[in-house]
Chains A and B, each alone.
Chain A
Amino acid sequence: QVQLVESGGGVVQPGGSLRLSCATSGFTFINSAMHWVRQAPGKGLEWLAFIQSDGSSQSYADSVKGRFTISRDDSKNMLYLQMNSLRAEDTAVYYCAKDYNFNWCVEYWGQGTLATVSS
């Protein structure tokens, strides 16, 4: 079965950086586009970033464009999110998610990792 396991969350000061990782299994990673989605405490879901299955293109929400970078390592079946210039409002649970091929939506979600931006 599809498994997505995020790691790398923690506490970081404003202006700092974090790199989130997502270990994937149970599906053919090289054939799958991937997303990152976050959820601030007590708030709703916010789509953040998308990477094509071949890594040829990436897209971002305006709220993180220029600060966050999505990437993948197909040799390790891993997805990453590099987060720079972090702000208090970036505090959230960050979900790694598998795209539903040819259906333009998220199909499967990880359990999330909490990133807290605080001094």
Chain B
Amino acid sequence: QSALTQPPSVSGSPGQSVTISCTGTSSDVGTYNHVSWYQQPPGTAPKLMIYGVNNRPSGVPDRFSGSKSGNTASLTISGLQAEDEADYYCNSYTGSDTWVFGGGTKLTVL
């Protein structure tokens, strides 16, 4: 149950696009299309942004999108806004009713 690998930090200017990667193994991201992404502003609980690799829950802006290739999943945020500044975590199902999170990525909007 090793954590998925995410870059510690990414940054972008308002209006730009940023992509956060999430690398796992053939036992998790590579096998299951059950990758989700969470947004966590400082001092608050996480919020589901993407599930099932590329599905957005109701109310999440379409500026947020997800994808997966092999053992790596990605979250892309287009048209960056100041309110997007937060920590982002990926998560993957790993079989037998177990899950694993990524180490988290701090997004800074310049």
**A contact residues vs B (CB 8 Å cutoff):** 35, 37, 44-47, 50, 52, 57, 59-63, 95, 100, 103-112
A62 touches B51 (CB 8 A): no
Q: Cα distance A112–B103 when bound, in Å?
A: 19
B52 touches A47 (CB 8 A): no
Chain A residues near B3 (CB-CB < 8 A): 44
Distance in Å: Cβ of A9 to nearest Cβ of chain B: 14
B104 touches A104 (CB 8 A): no
Distance in Å: Cβ of A102 to nearest Cβ of chain B: 10
In the complex, whether B83 has a CB less than 8 A from a CB of chain A is: no
- Which of B9-17, B70-78, B89-97 is the interface stretch? B89-97
In the complex, whether B110 has a CB less than 8 A from a CB of chain A is: no
A104 touches B32 (CB 8 A): yes
B98 touches A61 (CB 8 A): yes
Distance in Å: Cβ of B22 to nearest Cβ of chain A: 12
Known contacts A44-B3, A44-B89, A103-B34; A109 and B46 CB within 8 A of each other: yes
Closest to B6 in A: A44
Q: Cα distance A110–B46 when bound, in Å?
A: 9
Closest to B102 in A: A44
Which listed residue, A45, A46, A57, touches B97 by the CB 8 Å rule? Answer: A57
